[in-house]
Amino acid sequence: MRLLPSRLLLLGISLATLFGAIACAQPSAQPAPTPTVAPKVATSKADTPAARTPAASAPTARKIVIGFTASNTGAQNLPSKKQTEGLQLWLDTVTKAGGIKLKDGTALMPEMKSYDDESKTDRVQALYTKLINEDKVDFLISPYSSGLARAAAVVSEQNGKIMITTGAADDSTMEQGFKNIYQLYAPGSRYLVGAIDLLKDLDPSARKIALIYEKEPFSTSVVQAAQPYARSKGYDVVLFEGYDPGTTDFAPFINKINATAPDAIMGGGHFPDGTTLAKQLYEKKVSVRLVALLVAPPEPTFSEIGDAAEYIVGPSQWEPGVTYSPDAAKAANLPWYGISVKDFVSGYQARFNSTPSYHSAGGYAAGLILQKAIEDSDSTEPAKVKATLDRLNLMTFYGNVQFSIEAKTHGKQVAHDMVYIQWQKDSANKLGTKIVWPPAAKSAGAQLRK
Amino acid sequence: MSALRTPFFWGLLVLLGGVGLLPILNGSDSMREDIFLVLMLVILASSINIIMGYTGYVSFGHIVFFGLGGYVAFYLMLNHQVHFVPAAVVGGIVSSLIAFLLGIPVLRLRGAYFALATIGINEVVRSFVTNFDPFGGATGMFFNYEVYNGYGGSKNALWYAYYAILVVALLCAVSSLLIKKSRFGLGLLAIREDQDAAQVLGIDPARSKVLVYTISAFFPGLAGAIFFFKNGIIEPGPAFDLLRSIEALVMVMLGGYGTVAGPIVGAAVYEQLRAFLITNSTFSSFHLFVAGFLLLLIVLFVTAGLVGWLRQRAPRLRRYLE
């Protein structure tokens, strides 16, 4: 008699736990998405297949969903926020203009779905799978940073979804044989090349360069490309030293730098370490003629370190002072598309009450390129949009955009040029950024540290 | 082996296997990804519980074996075209071997000293890997996407990874039960309560601790291999992420320290809570705060964890809830 209740109890517990576990699985299977904007255009009628056919007599509105994850928490929080803001501004602009128009009169109203990836690759993969399979997004934008974008690219490719990567410059990501991933940023291997050219132009007597970098994929790949380039230009790379992510005390590295007495310091990694390194170089009065750091200097908040920011050079994918315009496009024999630089900057300032950085521009441009590809394809069918992206070659407020169609590097950015900014003081002793390289784009001459 | 005839053993198989079969039965990719993460955390938490829950040695840096297994397997798959299953097994064995070698000196330490030493080991290994060129240094290693063609395409490869993690999670949970119910396990529990008294009773603490540390390193090694195979990339940061190790400790505490079911329940509850919080518009900015607050509540008021609390409150359940 005792056996039966025991077995029933066991069965009951097993079932209860099983159901509990399934129920527990539900919240993550159907979380509250965080649509950043909810345009009131998508109707159930408009979503029906009939409404999507060109035969539909009256112009209709249909929603398209663009999914991505953002690093609302974790190490990549700041640039990721800027990137999302840029994308948000694009969405606002398109919504205000009545959507993306197809030739049959259909207006595609974009909607965004995003989640916090905590700056973690395992979260990125789970969330991109969810965006594709549960949220049924039509297109994907990458998260910020090369590592996270690479994790997302694997999932996107596995599901045959088109993804525009922005905030991800790592070369190797685009050398994995992906067919549906398109890179908007100029690859990392080009990040410090211009800084070396600038040094050559500015101070022909300079001979020694110290490369100090954050030991993570993006910055390592940048300096690995910069080192041979510097040598090819006749420089002696006197220091090639990595520091761990999260480093806050650069004193041992600065001592090494001082010991090698370089003419220029180049490298860094991301925003927090780059800012700290610049500050400590200033505090320790390191005597070099040029300092070029990755990622941090183009961010407007870099000025918060005060005088330490002066003379610091940074490679940037885009700056508010760039001169891309319909005329420039015409001169380059390229088609022009989209918003002007001036309208983007003023629109961004009005919407977010801050100056856009290149991460913001990258976010906007990701949406814009997708919009152009959809318009030219006259469809949201992935195969057609992909074919259009493959042959895209144009200029926008963000600059030139063209993707590689080589099998080995398919989707890699081949046309976008970087600019280099330097923090300089104006006549009122106020810090601001100037574009100092390349010569064709510069708004001021570069200055050597005194 | 009497443990294999207990109601708990069958309950465990039904529960873990049942949940694991759900995405296979309904073919849901999204559910597969969610449960993959839960199973991976079950393995990490259960492995930590094997050393921490049974012997009382808090291994803060246990994630080192996850990273090592991942790196060894990834290296074999990338450079020697080894199939991911044998590569994962080798990854697990290498993790165990390193745990064995490290365990001999490190397990002589007690309490906070051991915990600190495990953090140190993780940092040393991470720094080593970051500077070790055959493992790709700071940039890590990545597959060419075509690698997955050998597994019937990338979609199939994801399912293979899922089957593998399910099998490893089951093996890990069953091993945890077998250890706990064995004479060896009783010896470990005796060490946990009073190592000197255990030694007087004829238990060899040094041998037992090294052996259990070696076993506890095997499963994270396998999990790391499977996780990074699925990821297609391995980098030092995500491979040796100390935060993940600490989260696994939270799962053990949440579910029930020293119980077999505790880490499983803890991992499932913690991961679902986290998934809910980070996708909830109200709490998404506070999820780490909520998780930390929850841990504080557990440590202060439910020290035995959910399973331990149940066992205390309902003694009749002890037979069914190890």
**B68 contacts B94 by C-beta, under 8 angstroms:** yes
Query: Three-state secondary structure along A296-320?
Result: CCCCHHHHHHHHHHCCEEEEECCCC
Looking at every residue in chain B, the average pLDDT score rounds to 88
Put simply, the chain A residues between 56 and 75 with a CB less than 8 A from any chain B CB are 72-73
For position A334, what pLDDT does the model report?
Answer: 93
State pLDDT tens for residues A161-213: 999 999 888 888 888 889 999 999 999 888 999 999 999 999 999 999 999 99
Query: Which of A336-345, B129-138, B273-282 shows the lowest mean pLDDT across its residues?
Result: B273-282
> For chain B, where are the E strands, in sequence order?
141-142, 233-234
For position B310, what pLDDT does the model report?
Answer: 85
**ipTM of this model?**
0.71
DSSP letter, residue A37: -
pTM of the model: 0.78
State pLDDT tens for residues B222-232: 999 999 998 88
Q: What CATH class is the domain B2-319?
A: mainly alpha
Q: Which secondary structure element, helix H or strand E, spans residue B311, and what is its range?
A: helix B305-313
To the nearest whole angstrom, how far is the Cα of B48 from the nearest Cα of chain A? 20
| Residue with more model confidence, A7 or B146 | B146
For position A70, what pLDDT does the model report?
Answer: 87
- The SS3 call for residue B146 is helix
Quick check: B15 and A17 CB within 8 A?
yes
pLDDT in tens, chain A (450 residues): 343 344 444 444 444 444 444 434 433 333 333 333 333 444 333 333 433 444 445 568 899 999 999 887 666 677 888 999 999 999 999 999 999 999 988 999 999 999 888 777 778 888 898 899 888 999 999 999 888 898 899 889 888 899 999 988 888 888 888 999 999 999 988 899 999 999 999 999 999 999 999 988 889 889 999 999 999 999 999 999 999 888 899 999 999 999 999 999 999 998 889 999 999 999 999 989 999 999 899 888 899 999 999 999 999 999 998 888 999 899 989 999 999 999 999 999 999 999 898 899 999 999 999 999 999 999 999 999 999 999 999 999 999 999 999 988 999 999 998 999 999 998 888 999 999 988 877 888 999 887
Domain residue extents for chain B: 2-319
The answer to whether A338 contacts chain B (CB < 8 Å) is: no
Tokens of A69: 């994850």
State pLDDT tens for residues A31-88: 333 333 333 444 333 333 433 444 445 568 899 999 999 887 666 677 888 999 999 9
The answer to whether A215 contacts chain B (CB < 8 Å) is: yes
To the nearest whole angstrom, how far is the Cα of A372 from the nearest Cα of chain B? 28
Domains defined for chain A, CATH in brackets: 49-186+323-402 (3.40.50.2300), 190-316+418-437 (3.40.50.2300)
To the nearest whole angstrom, how far is the Cα of B150 from the nearest Cα of chain A? 14
Return the biggest CA–CA distance within chain A.
97
Q: Helices marked H in B182-286 — which ranges?
A: 183-193, 195-200, 205-231, 236-239, 242-255, 261-278
To the nearest whole angstrom, how far is the Cα of A246 from the nearest Cα of chain B? 11
Would the pLDDT of B177 be above 80? yes
For position B292, what pLDDT does the model report?
Answer: 77
The answer to whether A6 contacts chain B (CB < 8 Å) is: yes
Measure CB to CB from residue B19 to each of A21, A31, A172 and give the nearest one.
A21
Q: Which secondary structure element, helix H or strand E, spans residue B40, and what is its range?
A: helix B29-55
For position A407, what pLDDT does the model report?
Answer: 87
For position A57, what pLDDT does the model report?
Answer: 52
For position A30, what pLDDT does the model report?
Answer: 33
Sign of the C-alpha dihedral computed for residues A379, A383, A389 and A392 taken in this order: negative
The answer to whether A121 contacts chain B (CB < 8 Å) is: yes
